[in-house]
Structure 1
């Protein structure tokens, strides 16, 4: 049996020095001093050098201060994947505040909830946007023009322990939860880490959705290392020949892809990734065959990465080699630098090969959930071996492999990953139950790989006259919408009275009365 000492040795990533006490603006400003004419951002809206990025962000920061923004405030940002989004993030941080990314694809009600729940004092958006929120909307371009381009020296400095951003993930009770991430956790992710080295001359593609935490790696991986951030349009990311052209045109050093997108390229055109320096893939279980196809068709390095938003994007990584591809599944690797990974069952470390709940510690941990102290205490817990350390309970089932890597075995609860997004099935179920005609609801994931989809089942006396897709779209983002809702007189139950989730599958293939729903009878 593996000794406790051996387990604790496996748990800790390499301890590396990084500027833990420096805020994000301080680090970007330092690069502006060292490489003022280097390109910082290339995206719709133009090209900004590091000097121009700092000057424009400083001007906007002064404009925000004139609007009454103070240190500690939260400001929502509804802006496309443009240079202005990056300027806005940096300006907010310069003001000692934190940013809340809003997704244009979200229903207005969901964005409004996040604004209210986070306590955001304003939304920053272009003049042509109508965020439909109960707080003031600041026109970014006008605020930039009204700001002072003088040195940011008189602005609040803040500390690296302050919240840099708040990001919302799906909540099991139907209420999304906001995660407060500090500056130093982001620096830990990308500066002097051991899974990827970035520096001046490198190019990081920015193709992730604003509310997906892979964007944290993309944006700050570039700007905290003196590299160039290049905006990647969604269509260019999804279409093989367009991605090939983009990668070649910009000499991309690092590209993150969700598992589903990676699989699509690997299946149809693995050579599309041939000119990328490093492809990072994560969000769902990765097929070893897909990685083999990419490695065989290109010289790209493939990193399999894993981590929840509560631990700032990446907690483990595996530099995939041919020897890893013989296994049925790829491991998620080892802890990245300045990160701890522990596998516990009933408060005790489990031996190598035994299954337990994956816990994460180290400098990447979030500060907790905004306004939800009880949930924070429930999921951010003391390490049983050292109560001075905090571990985050991921809810993921995992085990140690003999080679010291971690094998991810899936969720222990009702949360799933779908196309890279975390989805609490309970939140979708709560949205269905909110309809007055629905007595009960259950949502499951059906299909495998790129064909995975959400299917909802509702107990209702009504039949065929409800457009569930339209109803759910008022409160849920597109990635949380079931592709089908099946109407049943009652939900099937197991002998102990719980919903028989496996039994629901027999109703999946019955004829549909519409593209989004089926009406059938269920018997327990």
Structure 2
């Protein structure tokens, strides 16, 4: 029995496994565990209660729950009801929580009862998971593949988050495709470390259930601490772990030496080649994933081989159901090897931005080669390599101009990350009177000598031309991160170096 791409929604992928082995282990978090029968029973109860509350197809359900063993059942129940999941995070500022609830027009708030409802959400009806008893019956889905499955809010250029609407068909395709790509086998364990407000959490929490496996959910603090996560890996011995580059580096900094049976997935941010190579040398296999939320978690992937790495790590080729093309500003293909804008098409595409038709039309454009279909303009610059793989070449908004020179911040970060004393590196541009100033921040390895910054400056003088060398370098005990585990460059830009 395998996951199938013919299903149009997650409940249809999970149902065969519940029928096949209802007592098989499905979810574990700490000392809590759930088998397939228990997960389906709670999901059925969620779906029934939502229906009784008047929630209908594509009504929004805000989810504010801790990382418990019942979280996958909550997601499955929302999907089965036809409602749209709107992930929230209790650590986010109240203004953001209120804005997301209002913008999404949430009909109901689903919580696990472990924490009080924030005052800004007090006007919503509340459904508590801890008050529900498992209900008889299976979970299914009677909707259309183009129906929304979840609405994820990402940062917006206006300062207000924008809701990206992802469909059931796109989600089912990504889960099925990934299960086949990584060779997922029934019973295998996936360690989930990603916050629900980061779309890759859907992959971690739902793919194992769609393929007859188990999901092990790391607690919030375990997922954010290198030593704690390393200990959890040694105890649970998962077969799969997806993490951002910063989280993998956090593990190495904590002394983790790898795991020969682990399949590692890395994405969500720029992957320094040195880090990709180091990881490939210490695990069974490394999948490098690329893709924006607008393309349902990821759309392009590659295998990182052990050994020396190229100057820029290729992101690979489009996954099944997805198209990836490099185009010029008029949406015409560029010659092989020429840098252009990476555009994505196929079943992976989100429906668009909620309530923002102009922005949706600007980013989701008609596909000139496939009448009636669309392309998503990622804003990422890329080129096609001779072997058919794609290589990212930065972004238009990451390309800065310093004293008349165009500079790619990612190139600077890659060079800094290759220095033996540097664990994590980030470059930012900050105002300097009427001009701009290039500065960098590093998190050093624990064993780095006191002279590390001096040797790093000398190293950069040999590796980078003058305009690309940071005018100041600051050492941080811990690199600031966003709630999704990426380097928080906005926080770095607020730090002032001499």
- Deviates further, 207-216 or 63-72: 63-72
1:144 to 132, 138, 142: 132
The residue number in structure 1 matching 2:348 is 364
Contact 2:192–2:218 (CA<8 Å) still a contact in 1? yes
Within the alignment, does 1:257 sit opposite 2:230 as a pair?
Answer: no
- Structure 1 alignment gaps of length 5 or more: 1-15, 417-443, 460-475, 487-507, 511-524
Report the 3-state secondary structure (helix = DSSP H, G, I; strand = E; otherwise coil) of the residue aligned with 1:392.
Answer: strand
Question: Which residue does 2:494 correspond to in 1?
Answer: 485
> Is the aligned partner of 1:92 residue 2:78?
yes
The answer (yes or no) to whether the contact 2:154–2:163 under 8 Å persists in 1 is yes
Secondary structure in structure 2 of the residue aligned to 1:300:
strand
After TM superposition, list the pairs within 5 Å mapping 1:50-69 onto structure 2.
Answer: 50-69=36-55
Shift, 1:399, TM fit: 0.4
Partners of 1:415 and 1:92 in 2: CA distance: 41
Deviation string 1:405-457 (CA, Å, 9 cap, x unpaired) is 111111123699xxxxxxxxxxxxxxxxxxxxxxxxxxx99976623276765
> Do 2:68 and 2:217's aligned partners in 1 also have CA atoms closer than 8 Å?
yes
Q: 1:189 to 1:358 in 2, by over 3 A?
A: same
Name the counterpart of 1:188: 173
In 2, the alpha carbon distance for the partners of 1:20 and 1:55 equals: 24
Question: Residue 312 of structure 2 aligns to a residue in which SS?
Answer: coil
Aligned to 2:317: 334
Q: How many residues align?
A: 426
Task: Return the match for 1:38 from 24, 29, 32.
Answer: 24
> Which residue is equivalent to 1:231?
217
Larger relative contact order, structure 1 or 2 (CA cutoff 8 Å, min sep 6): 1
> Equivalent of 1:161, from 131, 143, 146?
146
Determine which of 116, 121, 130 is the counterpart of 1:133: 121
CA apart distance, 1:59? 1.4
SS of equivalent residue, structure 2 residue 121: coil
Aligned to 1:319: 303
Cα distance in 1, alignment partners of residues 143 and 31 from structure 2 = 29
Determine the structure 2 residue equivalent to 1:179. 164
Residue 452 of structure 1 aligns with which residue?
426
Q: Which moved more, 1:325-334 or 1:355-364?
A: 325-334
Q: Which residue of 2 aligns with 1:468?
A: none
For the Cα contact (< 8 Å) 2:164–2:352, is it kept in 1?
A: yes
Confirm or deny: 8 A CA contact 2:426 2:489 kept in the other structure: no
User: Mind listing any 5+ residue stretches in structure 2 that lack a counterpart?
Assistant: 401-408, 418-423, 434-481
For 1:51 and 1:87, how far apart are their aligned partners in 2? Answer: 10
Quote the Cα distance in structure 1 between the aligned partners of 2:356 and 2:248.
35
- Shift of residue 485 of structure 1? 3.4
The reply to whether residue 292 of structure 1 matches residue 277 of structure 2 is yes
1:347–1:115: structure 2 CA closer, same or farther, 3 Å change rule? Answer: same
- In structure 2, the CA distance between the partners of 1:454 and 1:326, relative to structure 1 (3 Å rule), is closer
**2-structure distance, mates of 1:77, 1:227:** 24
Q: Distance in 2 between matches of 1:268 and 1:318?
A: 27
Match of 2:497 in 1: 509
- 1:250 and 1:84 map into 2 onto residues whose CA distance is 19
Residue of structure 2 in register with 1:13 after alignment = none
CA distance in 1, matches of 2:367, 2:52: 45
**Alpha carbons 1:331, 1:405 under 8 Å: kept:** yes
What is the rounded CA distance, in whole Å, between the counterparts of 1:17 and 1:204 in structure 2? 16
